[in-house]
Chain A
Amino acid sequence: MNLAHLRMRDKIILRVVARAFIPFILLFGLYVQFHGDYGPGGGFQAGVIFAAGFMLYGIIFGLESLLRVMPWSVVERGLALGLLIYGCVGVENMLMQGYFLDYSMLDEADPKHGLHLGILIVELGVGLTVTMAMLAIFYSFSGRRRK
């Protein structure tokens, strides 16, 4: 997106409204992430909402400002880390004499708690990968200039 051409950051209404909305978007993303076991939502939806908050910031304040908040290295590493967390939960359960991705061995005393814990961590991994994947696509789209 040719952000410099649009001159979004000169528009005071957009700037003030975005600044007011972004914290709530991120908070809602976290709510969807961690309340996904009890209400609608989960890692995928939370990741998209979380990324949308950052994208709004990028559109209004410019890609350079967004890169200061969420550097490229964080996006790159987070993208891989999310998937790694998911896989590691499965392997961890195998190490504790369970089945891959069964989760019930994560808490030996209380299998139900282990299942809850497993779902929570796995959803966190999904959320992280989705957030970073959306941001990576947004970065590579908006970094391009018209030829």
Chain B
Amino acid sequence: MSFPIEAILFVFLLITAVVIARLRDLFAAAMLTGIFTLLSAGLFTLMDAVDVAFTEAAVGAGVSTVLMLGALSLSARTEKPQPIKILPLIVVIATGSMLVLSTLDMPHYGDPNAVIHKYLAPQYIEGAQAKFGLPNIVTVVLASYRGYDTLGETAVIFTAAVGVLLLLAGGFPSRKEDQE
């Protein structure tokens, strides 16, 4: 039974989130997001979502920490203390409690009779073995059954990179040298 391990990970996740929100030292906060990612990746692994855990670890701990540090070197190292504002606090608490309330309607974790497991999923699981003969169902679903979606996702990543380049390319060193 793995429930206690998941509970401990969730408690650590909560503590890390609160500490990140309260820290004034932005460098420490950026490092703590790496810990947050590690804990989430552990949780995903316990839920047998290895591919998601893999992505979380690679993107969250690897690339986004580097980008956070890059952003930090352009801004101040510590956050200025700000007074607690009442209206945003109320909005956050209201949204949070609505989200928690809505989870009560969700099917139980791992429930085989949940609606999402009744439609298409059995077809994919059988097809991945019979039609493709590949053990990793996630790859088969992503690349073939949902090939259009993945093409769209790749286009989104491409567009995002082009957008960032258009916004930030003015600071790129080789371009600067060309201009000088």
**A residues 1-47 with Cβ under 8 Å of B?**
1-2, 5-6, 32, 36-42, 44-45
B115 at interface (Cβ–Cβ under 8 A)? no
Residues of B within 8 A of A80 (CB): 158
How far does the alpha carbon of A113 sit from the alpha carbon of B146 in the complex, in Å?
19
For B67, give its contact among A6, A37, A102, A141 (CB under 8 Å): A141
A51 at interface (Cβ–Cβ under 8 A)? yes
For B148, give its contact among A67, A72, A101 (CB under 8 Å): A101
Of all chain A residues, which has the CB nearest B164? A137
B158: min CB distance to chain A, Å = 5
Residues of B within 8 A of A64 (CB): 173
**A residues 38-78 with Cβ under 8 Å of B?**
38-42, 44-45, 48-49, 51-52, 55, 59, 63-64, 67, 72
Interface contact B59-A138, CB-CB below 8 Å:
no
Q: Contacts A42-B143, A80-B158 hold; do A138 and B138 have CB atoms under 8 A apart?
A: no
Q: Contacts A42-B51, A83-B158, A101-B151 hold; do A140 and B171 have CB atoms under 8 A apart?
A: yes
Contact mask for chain A residues 103-128; partner B; CB cutoff 8 A; 1 contact, 0 none: 10000000010011011001101100
Of all chain A residues, which has the CB nearest B75? A146
Interface contact B151-A90, CB-CB below 8 Å:
yes
B172 at interface (Cβ–Cβ under 8 A)? yes
Interface contact A45-B164, CB-CB below 8 Å:
no
Majority secondary structure of chain A interface residues (helix, strand, loop or mixed): helix
How far does the alpha carbon of A133 sit from the alpha carbon of B159 in the complex, in Å?
9
For A48, give its contact among B62, B142, B168 (CB under 8 Å): B62
A64: min CB distance to chain B, Å = 8
B130: min CB distance to chain A, Å = 10
Interface contact A45-B143, CB-CB below 8 Å:
no
Query: How many chain-A residues does the 8 Å CB contact rule pick out?
Result: 59
Interface contact B58-A125, CB-CB below 8 Å:
no
Interface contact B144-A79, CB-CB below 8 Å:
no
Interface contact B63-A55, CB-CB below 8 Å:
yes
B57: min CB distance to chain A, Å = 9
For A36, give its contact among B73, B74, B139, B160 (CB under 8 Å): B139
How far does the alpha carbon of A68 sit from the alpha carbon of B156 in the complex, in Å?
28
Interface contact A44-B151, CB-CB below 8 Å:
no
A-B contact pairs, 19 of them (CB 8 A): A37-B134, A37-B136, A42-B138, A49-B58, A55-B63, A59-B66, A67-B174, A72-B172, A86-B154, A101-B148, A115-B144, A119-B134, A119-B140, A138-B63, A140-B165, A140-B172, A141-B168, A142-B70, A143-B168
A-side interface residues toward B, CB under 8 Å? 1-2, 5-6, 32, 36-42, 44-45, 48-49, 51-52, 55, 59, 63-64, 67, 72, 79-80, 82-83, 86-87, 90, 101-103, 112, 115-116, 118-119, 122-123, 125-126, 129-130, 132-134, 136-146
